[in-house]
A and B are shown apart, each in its own frame.
Chain A
Amino acid sequence: MRIAGLALIVSLAFVAALVVGDHPVPPQEVLSALFGADGVPTPSRVIVNELRLPRAVMALLVGAALAVAGAIAQAVMRNPLADPGIVGINAGAALAAMVVVVQVGSLPETALPWLTFGGALSMAALIHALAWRQGTTGTRIILVGIGLSALAGAGASAISVFGEPAAVQRAMVWLAGSLQGSRWERVPHLLLWAVPPALLVWAAAREFDLIALGDEVALARGQSVNLARATAILACALLSGAAVAAAGLVAFVGLAAPHIARALVGPRHARLIPTSALVGAGLLLCADITARAAAPPLQLPVGLVTALLGAPFFAYLLWKRRND
């Protein structure tokens, strides 16, 4: 029931994303343009099909990917504060972006997604390798992740202190996250990198229920804990790396969406993972509509809006469940 309501909200947000903008297109024209009906003015058709539709699809995918990554991270680390950033994605991506934008400057901006994806993945691999000592523990991964993220963050910070203010600002804008570069040709990449890991973790939902109970319990029930953790981290890195490459660092969705989903459907992962995906997709869609409509012709970075919208909503949830 709640999931159906959530799905309805996300669908409405999706239509709204196609309607709202500098050039408003009425809903019936949007639907006609979508289904290729005749009688739609050409500008409207181009705007809907070539600009807004890919952007809305990207928002759905990026939000869902971040939310699923967050849900996995929280389960595997058994820590409600865990978000995709814990496997070093944010720090790796931020460092890569700072180096590319501020230091190199000559590299084309098109290389940025690939470099950040690479930075994120190698960071996740490095954290896992360093945390490995006759197996891993959630705490050790967290601690090593903190250390490595701090190193990468210091690198990015050093570059920002000594770099050109204008270039630093450009890098900050990119890091703040934006869906402005959404094109149809970017969607397949995102699908390719994000959908298989998401389906994999959903199929393995029982394993996450088990690992959330603690290593001893999971081992006693015959789970190979280290393998589960490594797979989860890889999935998390792929999902959030793909999201970062597509839209920069979108804050807060990965942390908040699983909490919101838990408040709706409880802690069982078979329901939590799809619900998180829906919540994340809805959050990012609404945030992107706001980012486009808040201060036209300026577009706010969508990562800022997710924080500005998501934080009060999260606070409301916390307040509503204050007596649980």
Chain B
Amino acid sequence: MRRTLLAAALLALLIVLVALWSLVTGSAGLTVGEAMRALFAPGEGRSDVILWQVRLPRVVAAVAAGAALGAAGAIMQAVTGNPLAEPGLMGVNAGAAFAVVLALSVFGVTASGALTWCAFGGAGATAVLVYAMASAGRGGPTPIRLVLAGVIVGTFLGALTTAILLIDSQTLDAVRFWTAGSLKGRQLAQILPVLPYVAASLVAALVFARQFTTLGLGGDVARSIGQNPALWRAIAAGCVVGLAGSAVSIAGPLGLVGLVVPHMVRLTLGGGYGRIVPLSILGAAALTLLADTAPRALLGVDLPAGITLALIGAPFFICLARSHGAVRG
């Protein structure tokens, strides 16, 4: 417990520091003092515009999307008991990408606010479809059926998306950055409407972490200690949809973070989802923010965060995977 609290405090501090770093780096230099003044006493100056229009939205988007994906990944792994489970498996990324590409290509939607809701709607609809497919039959949505249904729907929609992009190179050009998971050019007005969903789902994830762990022990065990697996599976799925749908609508499909961060927590501090869920939330937020900030600050290149996440996260993840004998899959 003490180690968990310490780790949580350290991660929270890291988030604050990296957020500051993110606010003061960019093509136009701001000092920390200027940034703080603009943040807490907004005026009409140049630094206010830069901070509120460009940099703060990025920070908010990175933290919100990262936190949501970390929680969603932890829940998915807890409920399915599968180390390969990640939010993308519910088909949310494929559904969101399909909705966005369809909107751009067929309906000619260009307003980015509208695209945010397209992504959110596509993600939600796909997840509902996946869940319905997995729920058919007597056994209900067992983890393995859920995962297979997710793969089926995701593959199908992914193929349709690719087909559209192969025919329509204009949309390919417009959507490339989005599919690489970029936080560039977000507006607060687009992000704020999604935040309540993120917040509500995060709270639910934290409160119900124990029940999700019980689910992962299998339907029989869960029933024997008086849990109703069907109800809790539905709640878990609802949480994942809220979280992953929000994340993908804010930042595009950020692949690795939901998969990797829960493993990192498990490998460094050990199991128990009461610990893994909160630390995954903080860790994933920190990692995403860092991935969005570091290339801009250190290299002056604005890489899409999804790419940086893989470049930072993957080697670290491989080292962790090597340094521990058996991971409880």
Contact A144/B318 with A157-B306, A318-B145, A318-B149 known, Cβ cut-off 8 Å: yes
Residues 129-153 of chain A: 1 if any B CB is under 8 Å from the residue's CB, otherwise 0?
A: 0110100011110111011101101
A106 within 8 A of partner (CB): no
A172 within 8 A of partner (CB): yes
Task: Assign chain B's interface to a size class.
Answer: 35 or more
Q: Roughly how many angstroms separate A126 CA and B145 CA in the complex, as a whole number?
A: 32
Q: Roughly how many angstroms separate A254 CA and B72 CA in the complex, as a whole number?
A: 27
Q: Roughly how many angstroms separate A308 CA and B159 CA in the complex, as a whole number?
A: 7
A56 within 8 A of partner (CB): no
- The distance from the CB of A294 to the nearest CB of chain B, in whole angstroms, is 10
Of the 9-residue stretches A38-46, A163-171, A197-205, A240-248, which lies at the interface with chain B? A163-171
A323 touches B162 (CB 8 A): no
Of the 9-residue stretches B190-198, B237-245, B255-263, which lies at the interface with chain A? B255-263
A281 within 8 A of partner (CB): no
Which residue on chain A has the smallest CB distance to residue B179? A157
Of A81, A140, A157, A319, the residue contacting B151 (CB under 8 A) is: A81
Which residue on chain A has the smallest CB distance to residue B177? A161
What B residues does A307 contact at CB under 8 A? Answer: 155-156, 158-159
B137 within 8 A of partner (CB): yes
A32 within 8 A of partner (CB): no
B322 within 8 A of partner (CB): yes
Q: Roughly how many angstroms separate A158 CA and B165 CA in the complex, as a whole number?
A: 18
A143 touches B83 (CB 8 A): yes
Of B133, B147, B162, B329, the residue contacting A139 (CB under 8 A) is: B329
User: Which residues of A (11-34) have their CB < 8 Å from a CB of B?
Assistant: none
Of B155, B263, B325, the residue contacting A143 (CB under 8 A) is: B263
A315 within 8 A of partner (CB): yes
B327 touches A151 (CB 8 A): no
Contact A146/B259 with A81-B82, A172-B165, A323-B138 known, Cβ cut-off 8 Å: yes
B303 touches A160 (CB 8 A): no
Q: Roughly how many angstroms separate A161 CA and B304 CA in the complex, as a whole number?
A: 9
Q: Roughly how many angstroms separate A9 CA and B309 CA in the complex, as a whole number?
A: 46
Contact A144/B321 with A158-B303, A161-B304, A318-B145 known, Cβ cut-off 8 Å: yes
Contact A130/B318 with A150-B256, A172-B165, A311-B153 known, Cβ cut-off 8 Å: yes
A-B contact pairs, 30 of them (CB 8 A): A79-B82, A139-B83, A139-B329, A140-B322, A142-B83, A143-B317, A146-B317, A147-B314, A147-B317, A150-B310, A157-B306, A157-B307, A165-B169, A165-B176, A168-B176, A169-B169, A251-B158, A251-B159, A259-B148, A305-B159, A307-B158, A308-B156, A311-B152, A311-B153, A312-B156, A315-B152, A319-B137, A322-B137, A323-B137, A323-B138
5 smallest beta-carbon distances between A and B, as pairs: A322-B137, A154-B310, A307-B159, A143-B321, A311-B156
| Apart from A137-B325, A157-B180: 18 A-B pairs, beta carbons within 8 A | A79-B82, A139-B329, A140-B322, A144-B322, A147-B315, A150-B313, A154-B306, A161-B177, A165-B173, A168-B176, A169-B166, A169-B172, A305-B159, A307-B155, A307-B156, A308-B156, A322-B138, A323-B139
A interface residues with partner B (beta carbon < 8 Å): 79-82, 130-131, 133, 137-140, 142-144, 146-148, 150-151, 153-154, 157-158, 160-161, 165-166, 168-169, 172-173, 176, 251-252, 255, 259, 300-301, 303-305, 307-308, 310-312, 314-315, 318-319, 321-324
